[in-house]
Amino acid sequence: MKTNSSTHDFFIGGRITSSLIAKEITHHGNKNDIGAHAIFLGQVRADEIDKKKVKEIIYSAYHPMAENKLEKIRNEAIKRFKLKCVHIYHSEGAVAAGEISLFVFVSSAHRKKSFKALHSVVEKIKETVPIWKNEIFSDGTKRWLDEQSLQK
Amino acid sequence: MKIKVLFFGKLGEIMGKREMNLDRFATTKDLKDFLLDEFPSLNYHKFIVAVNQEVTRKEAELREGDEVAFLPPYAGG
């Protein structure tokens, strides 16, 4: 059984707040070798299916495996894109429509690497991290999201 | 001799529980065959199997205390 040796907490209970996002931005203000940050925010979309609107999404994860994967994504991105910093925050539990459930923040000396790294990290999170979404509709019905039900 | 079996996402609902402690099966294939037999609706759902948090694409040997997880297609991010 793997132990989580990461010093970074990836999971946030509930939505990701704008104060967390602001805190992260401010926190990097004194790093002199950073010239660019690229930030991604994933928001819960208020999808409408058969006249029912999504009220919230409940996120669940296979924790030890998800944390190992996120740490791996982070370390590989730092190496590959020569990043100064990578922060990843993913919600677990309920997040209401319109709220933020994913926050990825990468920093580099110059902007080219930040743009590329952000795209790579976000795609890898979606492809390789064991996290699931249960959509809750306004009428109380539920639907598990998977590749079949997702529309790009 | 026991193994811990976990069911994530939709599979937890299909199985009626998220966690089971079962007597050890020799391989992941033996475990899968048993579960598909006992819970036939599992046959209609896609999943991959992880042993001690490592995805196994081929049949893997199981040992006492192993944690086997049944993972539907990921939907994170």
pLDDT digits (tens, 9 = 90+) for A109-146: 999 999 999 999 999 999 999 999 999 999 999 999 87
Output the DSSP codes for A78-126: HHHHT-SEEEEEEEEEEEETTSEEEEEEEEESSHHHHHHHHHHHHHHHH
Contacts across the A-B interface (CB distance below 8 Å): 72
Q: Which residue in A68, A41, A75, A74 sits closest to A131, CA to CA?
A: A68
Give the SS3 label for residue A53. Answer: strand
Q: How many Å apart are CA A77 and CA A146, to the nearest integer?
A: 26
> Within 10 Å of residue A88's Cβ, how many Cβ atoms?
24
Which residues of A lie closer than 8 Å to B, measured between beta carbons?
A: 1-2, 42, 59-62, 64-66, 68, 90, 102, 122, 125-134, 144-147, 150
Residue from the list B8, B52, B74 with its beta carbon closest to the beta carbon of A129? B74
ipTM exceeding 0.85? yes
Q: pLDDT at position B1, please?
A: 73
pTM of the model: 0.91
Q: How many Å apart are CA A66 and CA A89, to the nearest integer?
A: 12
> Residue A4's pLDDT band (boundaries 50, 70, 90)?
very low
CA of A61: which chain B residue's CA is closest?
A: B8
- CB-CB under 8 Å, A132 with B72: yes
The 8-class DSSP code of residue B55 comes to E
pLDDT of A3 higher than 50: no
Full strand arrangement of the beta sheet holding B48-51: B19-23, B2-7, B67-71, B48-51, B54-56
Q: How many Å apart are CA A96 and CA A77, to the nearest integer?
A: 30
Chain A CB contacts of B75 under 8 Å are 131-133, 144-147, 150
Output the DSSP codes for B12-53: HHHHT-SEEEEEPPSBHHHHHHHHHHHSGGGGGS--EEEETT
Distance from CA of A133 to the nearest CA of B (A): 6
Instruction: Name the stretches of chain B with pLDDT < 70.
Output: none
The proportion of chain B whose per-residue pLDDT surpasses 70, expressed as a percent, equals 100
CB A62 within 8 A of CB B53: yes
- CB-CB under 8 Å, A144 with B72: yes
Mean pLDDT for chain A overall: 91
Picking from A132, A133, A150 by the largest number of B CB atoms within 10 A of its own CB, the best residue to mutate is: A132
Q: Which residue in B21, B42, B47 sits closest to A62, CA to CA?
A: B47
pLDDT of A2 higher than 60: no
pLDDT tens-digit readout, A15-50: 999 999 999 988 887 788 999 999 999 999 998 888
Q: How many Å apart are CA A67 and CA B11, to the nearest integer?
A: 21
Give residue B18's identity as a one-letter amino acid code.
R
Picking from B4, B41, B62, B74 by the largest number of A CB atoms within 10 A of its own CB, the best residue to mutate is: B74
Please tell me which residue, A96 or A46, carries the higher pLDDT value. Answer: A96
